Amino acid sequence: MSEESIIDASKPNAGRIYDYLLGGHHNFEVDRQAADRLVQLLPFIPKAARLQRWCLQDIAAELTQKRGYDLIIDYASGLPTNDHIHYIAPEGTTVIYSDYDPVVVEYAKEILKDTPNVYYFQADLRRPEELLNRDEVKDILKGRRKVAFVSWGVSAFLTDNDVAHVAEVLGDWSDAGSCWAFHAQGADANPNDPANMRVNQIYQQMGSPTYFRFLDQYEKLLQPWKPDENGYISLLKWHGFDESVMTEDDRKSLGPAGIGYGSYLIK
């Protein structure tokens, strides 16, 4: 990616907006303005962003320390700041991050520098096979296909066909015993809520439209993956979030689960 795009401060960018909402510094004035508009519409959004990001720390610990995975492939990673997977995963864990946004990838590489066993590639989750088939990734994997996938904070940006395609490809590619930490983002939110509709418009104007769906629709699309015995867990419960921070309006917009549900999917 050229230097040009990293200094393209003319258009707001979903990844940099998320960084701003998390309190980061990898963003421009135009991102901060778009983020402030989102917060005016849905004041819970910064808390929702932090909550979403905190879950990654639990996921990193659960996948490595409890479930024994030493290889994690994370799609739509955003910026690998010090609250991301590789910070929590024990030394020796291989983490392959990716994002489709070249600006995010450029910043991510700056952040990671030469962190051992941690990689960052540009890749589109809608075609997950492209990351898995890259020569550099094949070199890292050395034929290993029992892996833990993660896709967090992104599924609302995928169409139904995309979700079904990702599930099929990851299911076919991976060996038995693999796992997928999946965030059913926005599931059960109210698609007709005026604030949600306006937020969707803002993302659409940025070229990142969002798609609402209910949890049972997600479940159908995710075949052959199924949640483990813990099922789908509201993100509010996932991290022991203090639910009192949600107002009635937040609840109406974001649905009973807050910002969706997470699950460890198995085949």
- Tokens found for residue 104: 């995010």
Task: Work out which of 38, 76, 96, 265 binds ligand SAM, going by CB under 6 A.
Answer: 76
Residue-wise over 67-106: b if at least 16 C-beta within 10 A, else e? eebbbbbbbbbbbbbebbbbebbeeebbbbbbbbbebbbb
User: How many residues in the shown chain lie near ligand SAM by CB under 6 A?
Assistant: 21
Task: Work out which of 18, 212, 225, 232 binds ligand SAM, going by CB under 6 A.
Answer: 18
Site string for ligand SAM, 36-75 (x = CB under 6 A): ----------------xx--x------------------x
Of 85-93, 96-104, 193-201, 247-255, which part binds ligand SAM (CB under 6 A)?
Answer: 96-104
**Contact, 96 vs 119, CB < 8 A?**
yes
Q: Calculate Rg over the CA atoms of the chain.
A: 18
**Closest by CA position to 126, among listed 96, 165, 152, 79:** 165
Minimum distance from residue 240 beta carbon to ligand SAM (Å): 18
Minimum distance from residue 260 beta carbon to ligand SAM (Å): 11
Task: Work out which of 34, 60, 154, 221 binds ligand SAM, going by CB under 6 A.
Answer: 154
Give φ, ψ of 175 to 5 degrees: -80, 160
Give the CB-side neighbour count of residue 161, counting CA atoms within 13 A: 1
Binding site for ligand SAM (CB under 6 A): 14-15, 18, 52-53, 56, 75-78, 99-101, 104, 124-126, 152-154, 157
